[in-house]
Amino acid sequence: MTAQRPLTVSSAPAGLAGRIRVPGDKSISHRALMFAALAEGRTHISGLLEGEDVLRTAEAMRALGAKVVQKDGRWIVDGCGVNGLQEPADVLDMGNSGTAARLLSGVLATHPFMSIMTGDASLRGRPMGRVSVPLSKTGARFVTRAGHKLPMAVEGTGKGKPLHYCLPVASAQVKSAILLAGLNCEGETVVEEPAPTRDHTENMLRHFGTEVKVEELPEAGRRITLKGPARLVAQDVLVPGDPSSAAFPVVAALLVPGSEIVVEAVGQNPLRTGLFKTLKEMGASLELRDERTEGGEVIGDLHVRAGRLKAVDVPAVRVPSMIDEYPVLAVACAFAEGTSRLRGLAELRVKESDRLASTVALLEANGAKVHVEGDDLIIEGQTSLPGGGKVQTHMDHRLAMSATVLGLAAERPVHIDDTAFIETSFPGFVSLMNTLGAGLKP
């Protein structure tokens, strides 16, 4: 059990300033380790996020037979090849990472051995049925606690049936789990998604030499087709800065008067940059410079300057491209001129916490005017927020960071019950913010 780290955040003594680089993209880091373990040969990974979530994935791949070592700032993975993983000797503990647990479910479903996954208290409360139910149609057998919750036993199949699955809700995790299962199935695995979700899995499959067909569907969705069994060949990977992590210093710099910062080498995959698009619609001084391509992913430097924001109406279709950024966007909306409506947030109810309810509580505790209509979040912006509230984070790292951003811009200090779980996705968050002049004192 991680010891709690309460934090009281006061308004920044002066504007935030400086150049920083946020940790590597979490989604790409998980995938880089898994794909490298499934590849034939040696993969070198640079820029890997070394937060607890990703380290759990590294340990899981070791337990499944891959050789994974860190050396001279890089990670080296000697893969086993598709269908080459071995039965783990112990339970696979995925910590706080829903991404790792769900993606790995796809890998385990079509390998012919028994495995068991668990996680921390937060992850054990999150639903796994969205992957275990469709994956069981490959021939694998899943045994879970009531409500499809971890711990979960997986009896994999060595001759998996390829799936043709239409996602009921757009989800990159479910899509990826099914594609990963399809690597070890005979025939075509097809996933249809109602709206485009982050496509790091498709990009990385291509990077490791596997053909993936992506077709646009008539009503805005996509069909992804993978032919198995597939062969992955080791390729070096450079992980870009995580746009979900960049969101916090970016919004803080927009809200704290006098701020001007640069966040370097941030991933600009168009299926991940919904927040940046939304902030620009709000009138944010946010400029992308030095755009370039590294390892199949577009990156660039974000130049941010403080200024007044205006309210925004965010369509539900944008949810997949910014699913993790809604709490900090809600903070930005609380300081914006006018009333904002963030639509279609049902997916937030099944994140690390019920993020929709927790975001409302975070804002209300600090004087914001906010309410929920169906799955929409309505926020009445104010020129300033009184702050002074106590925030319950429910072991949710993004809520803790969002509360920190609010505290830097509020009139009175904001008290956060626990910031320990920030390390799962953004190691060194407090010290990095302090290099910009945040003045945080754990």
DSSP 363-432: HHTTT-EEEEETTEEEEE--S---B--EE--TT-HHHHHHHHHHHHHSSB-EEES--GGGGGT-TTHHHH
Antiparallel, parallel or unpaired: β 313-314 and 339-342: parallel
Q: Which one, of 422, 414, 242, lies nearest residue 331 by Cα?
A: 414
- One-letter identity of residue 344: G
Determine the Cα–Cα distance for residues 207 and 200; give it in Å rounded to an integer: 10
CB 321 within 8 A of CB 270: yes
**Angle, helices 26-38/172-182, rounded to nearest 10 degrees:** 10
Crossing angle, helix 98-109 and helix 172-182, to 10 degrees?
20
* 358 marked among binding-site residues: no
- C-alpha count within 13 angstroms, C-beta hemisphere, residue 430: 18
User: What pLDDT was estimated at residue 102?
Assistant: 97
Consult the annotation and say whether 398 binds a ligand.
yes
Q: Which parts of 64-147 fold into alpha helices (H)?
A: 98-109, 121-124, 129-135
Rg (CA), the chain: 21
Task: List strand residue ranges (DSSP E) for 79-170, in order.
Answer: 92-93, 114-118, 141-145, 149-155, 164-166
324 is catalytic: yes
Q: Which tokens hold the place of 266? A: 């941030």
What are the start-end ranges of the H helices in 183-273?
200-207, 243-255
Closest CA relative to residue 74, chosen from 239, 244, 215, 197: 239
Q: How far apart are CA 210 and CA 224, in angstroms?
A: 13
Instruction: Report d(CA 346, CA 142) in Å as an integer.
Output: 26
Strand 149-155 with 114-118, pairing: antiparallel
Task: Flag whether 26 is marked binding.
Answer: yes
| H/E stretch holding 27 | helix 26-38
Q: Is 349 annotated as ligand-binding?
A: no
| 351 annotated binding-site participant | yes
Phi and psi torsions of 135, nearest 5°: -65, -25
The one-letter amino acid code at 38 reads L
308 annotated ligand-binding residue: no
Give the pLDDT confidence score for residue 368 in this predicted structure.
Answer: 98
* Residue 419 one-letter amino acid: T
What is the value of pTM for the model shown? 0.83
Question: Which residue's structure tokens are 């077709």?
Answer: 215
In a 3-state reduction of DSSP, which class is residue 212? strand
Say whether 98 counts as a known binding-site residue.
yes
Task: Tell me the C-alpha distance between 69 and 158, whole Å.
Answer: 28
pLDDT in tens, the chain (442 residues): 467 899 999 999 789 999 999 999 999 999 999 999 999 999 999 999 998 899 999 999 999 999 999 998 899 999 999 999 999 999 999 999 999 999 999 999 999 999 999 999 989 999 899 999 999 999 999 999 999 999 999 999 988 999 999 999 889 999 999 999 999 999 999 999 998 999 999 999 999 999 999 999 988 899 999 999 999 999 999 999 999 999 999 999 999 999 999 999 999 999 899 999 999 999 999 999 999 987 668 899 999 999 999 999 999 999 989 999 999 999 999 999 999 999 999 989 876 668 999 999 999 999 999 999 999 999 999 989 999 999 999 989 999 999 999 999 999 999 999 999 898 889 999 999 999 999 998 7
**What does the pLDDT read at residue 20?**
97
27 is in an annotated binding site: yes
Q: Which of 25, 120, 242, 324 does the annotation list as catalytic?
A: 324
- pLDDT confidence of residue 352: 63
